[in-house]
Amino acid sequence: MKILVPVKQAALVEDDFELRDDGRDVDPDFVDLQLNEWDDYSLEAALQLKEANDGIEVVAVTVGDDDTEDALRTCLAKGADRAIRIWDDVIADADPLVIARVLAAVAQREAPDLVLAGTQSSDLGFSATGVAMAAFMGWPHAAVVVALDYAPGAATAIVERELEGGLRERLEVDCPAVLTIQLGINTPRYASLRGIKQARSIPIEELSPDELGLEDQDIGEQARGSRVREMYLPDKGQAEMIEGTPAEQAARIAAIVKEVMGG
Amino acid sequence: MAQGILVIAEQRRGVMSPVTQELIGAARAVKADIGGSLSVAIIAGDPKALADSVKLDGVDEVLLLPVEANEFQPDLHVAAALQAVEERDPALVLMSHSVDGWGYGAALAVRAAAGFATDVFAIQVDDGEVVAVRGAYGERAHAKIEFPGRERVVLALRPSAFTAAEGATDCSVTTLAVPDTAVRSRHLEFIDPPSEGGVDIPAAEFILSIGRGVGEEENVEEFAELADQVGAVLGCSRPIADAGWLPKARQVGYSGKTASSCRLYLALGISGSVQHLAGMKHIENIIAVNSDANAGIFNVARYGVVGDMFEVGQELRQHFD
Ligand SMILES: Cc1cc2nc3c(=O)[nH]c(=O)nc-3n(C[C@H](O)[C@H](O)[C@H](O)COP(=O)(O)OP(=O)(O)OC[C@H]3O[C@@H](n4cnc5c(N)ncnc54)[C@H](O)[C@@H]3O)c2cc1C
Ligand SMILES: Nc1ncnc2c1ncn2[C@@H]1O[C@H](COP(=O)(O)O)[C@@H](O)[C@H]1O
């Protein structure tokens, strides 16, 4: 059986940054890339299923340009069996619905038994891609999963979703399904040196949307659910900044504590 | 042409969620610019029982969509919402960017072929066109989102960002039949959070909270001692609880506790994610210590310290016995 894990190479914006010339995103010069935090957990969930059962193949997939290959290398180093990268310049600045449409086409080709996506991306935080992907595939889905009980080949999985305030919901989901995995479901492993070395020799399959049978109407401008008109820096809050040495700053904090709390 | 606004109410365990009132408030604020009427859809086992709670100022019509599940179920939710969309043809659909919202919003947008944005905290209408505002990169930038070519837009609104609608109104109530739908997941039970073990974040008046800036588990102890010394209850952000460095009962935020009684909140090494802010941004006195001068937490803090939480923490201990 096969588990498909969509992963995103997420953008970590540096402390001081500037916007791109067109004003619609952060200038890539001020961005470091890192595997989306949530995807560490979904990959780990897939790897744990693989280790507990015979014959499970874990396939990591990303929709991204050359710079996103590292995300897949990380997945391979941790134990994913295969990695797929899809790209075409028309996808640049795509919205989650287009990404989901591409991922759905990959799933159609790979025919996995389970898709484990992340609950959200740490950079843009849409919390949309996994569920949109399920909708394009016509699959059942459950979002914000913090516990997963699934035996390969079973008709259903028992999962727990984490709701507001720490409340949980236990539910049964028909499989195959798309689950979006939440932080804390497991403790993600680090890649071993051996794994990192081995991962270098595993080829990454590169595909274009065209090769997946996608056409311009599926992924072009008109397929987007939204478009960024403009990005801007939010107004600074009203915070009064406490300057000085750590000792001076601490003295002021202590004074505020005593003033507000009394004593 | 699509016209008017459809709000999809959120309920759980037979109680209308407070965010529903905010959705209605947001709808009312843009109603005149959008044009048309404002309908509120209730999708539930017994929607009628909840109808009165949404008859608020600005609402023209309550739509009851009975489904065969008392608790949230994505297939039924999408089917019911689509039915309401089909019958009322709204230009704007407002729903909650909540855990249940994440469980169906994107699927609804796909199925309705609508424009879609999530975590929206402001809505503008420019020349009749909807523009949504959301955060990006941990709130360090904001983005205006447009929906070219879309006749209909679904927006998932951030909880606590819009002013709740008030004032009862009398309006019509219509029941719509939800088409037969394959239900592919089943709610089994709710599991309440484990007992607090003596930790009571909602009751605490002074909280010292640590985030990922603490670095390592062995560093947690020195901040537990600091909290003790200054007379604060120790709180934390989610990664600290997820790692098991502190119990879940100390986690402040959307999936943790709300610091309801807090008068002073000292945030050390916490970036200020939306979900952490959900539990503390209402507090009058927030002091944030962060090494990153652009950290989002400074946007809600009353006092800010750009610095190292370890250095500041150690100095702070000199002022308390
Ligand atoms: C459904 C859902 C629910 C969630 N619920 C919650 C919740 O209830 N509560 C919650 O907190 N999160 C929650 N999260 C997670 C949230 O999105 C963030 O991942 C989390 O809040 C980040 O925690 P943090 O600020 O401690 O870590 P980070 O974002 O990693 O920030 C660490 C900060 O420490 C600063 N720093 C580093 N070193 C130092 C130093 N030496 N001195 C001073 N500053 C330093 C850094 O500049 C940075 O700003 C939830 C997420 C989801 C998807
Ligand atoms: N470009 C991408 N390539 C592959 N998977 C993605 C991509 N963007 C988002 N995802 C998946 O969708 C999840 C949620 O992301 P988002 O909807 O962007 O918040 C991520 O954790 C990934 O599993």
- CA dist B105 and B101 (Å) reads 5
User: What is the per-residue pLDDT for A262?
Assistant: 86
Taking the mean position of all CA atoms in its chain, how far away is CA A118? 5
- Structural domain total, chain A: 1
Query: Domain of B82: which CATH number?
Result: 3.40.50.620
Residue A145 in tokens: 């999963």
B288: domain range?
206-319
**Are B297 and B242 contained in the same domain?**
yes
A146 touches A168 (CB < 8 A): yes
Q: Which of B130, B155, B175 is the last residue of a domain?
A: B175
Query: Domain of A74: which CATH number?
Result: 3.40.50.620
A132: domain range?
2-223
Closest by Cα among B44, B43, B39 to B56: B39
Q: Which helix (H) or strand (E) holds A251?
A: helix A246-261
> Whose alpha carbon is nearest atom 39 of ligand 1?
B213
- CA dist B202 and B250 (Å) reads 10
Domain membership of residue A250 (yes or no) is: no
In chain A, what residues touch B298 (CB-CB under 8 Å)? 236-237, 239, 241
Domain membership of residue B198 (yes or no) is: no
Say which of B106, B137, B188 has its CB closest to residue A26. B137
Q: Which helix (H) or strand (E) holds A229?
A: strand A227-232
Tell me the average pLDDT across B267-282.
96
Tell me the average pLDDT across B23-37.
97
Domain membership of residue B129 (yes or no) is: yes
At a CB cut-off of 8 Å and minimum separation 6, what does B27 contact? B5, B7, B38, B58, B92, B94, B165
Q: What are the angstrom distances between the C-alpha of A131 and each of A41, A197, B226, B252, B274?
A: 17, 34, 43, 27, 21
User: What is the per-residue pLDDT for A263?
Assistant: 62
Tens digits of residue pLDDT in B58-98: 999 999 999 999 999 999 999 999 999 999 999 999 999 99
Instruction: Give chain B's largest Cα–Cα span.
Output: 70
Say which of B114, B263, B303 has its CB closest to residue A239. B303
Q: Could you read off the pLDDT tens digit of each residue along chain A, which spans 263 residues? A: 999 999 999 999 988 899 999 999 999 999 999 999 999 999 999 999 999 999 999 999 999 999 999 999 999 999 999 999 999 999 999 999 999 999 999 999 999 999 999 999 999 999 999 999 999 999 999 999 999 999 998 999 999 999 999 999 999 999 999 999 999 999 999 999 999 999 999 999 999 999 999 999 999 999 999 999 999 998 877 799 999 999 999 999 999 999 999 86
Domain membership of residue B128 (yes or no) is: yes
**Are B78 and B216 contained in the same domain?**
no
**Are B13 and B94 contained in the same domain?**
yes
CB of B247 within 8 Å of any CB in chain A? no
User: What is the per-residue pLDDT for B240?
Assistant: 97
Q: Which of B156, B175, B194 is the last residue of a domain?
A: B175
What single letter denotes the amino acid at residue B136?
A
Residue B321 pLDDT more than 90? no
> Whose alpha carbon is nearest atom 48 of ligand 1?
B271
User: What is the per-residue pLDDT for A238?
Assistant: 78
Task: Establish how many alpha carbons lie within 13 A of residue B21's alpha carbon, considering only the half-sphere containing its beta carbon.
Answer: 14
ipTM for the assembly = 0.95
Omega before A176 within 30 of 0, i.e. cis: yes
Domain membership of residue B200 (yes or no) is: no
**Are B13 and B151 contained in the same domain?**
yes
Q: What are the angstrom distances between the C-alpha of A213 and each of A58, A100, A106, A176, B91?
A: 23, 15, 10, 22, 32
User: What is the per-residue pLDDT for A15?
Assistant: 83
- Structural domain total, chain B: 2
- CA dist A66 and A89 (Å) reads 11
Domain membership of residue A59 (yes or no) is: yes
Query: Domain of B213: which CATH number?
Result: 3.40.50.1220
Tens digits of residue pLDDT in B121-176: 999 999 889 999 999 998 889 999 999 999 999 999 999 999 999 999 999 999 99
**Per-residue pLDDT band at B219 (split at 50, 70, 90):** very high
Domain membership of residue A147 (yes or no) is: yes
Residue B100 pLDDT more than 80? yes
Domain membership of residue B119 (yes or no) is: yes
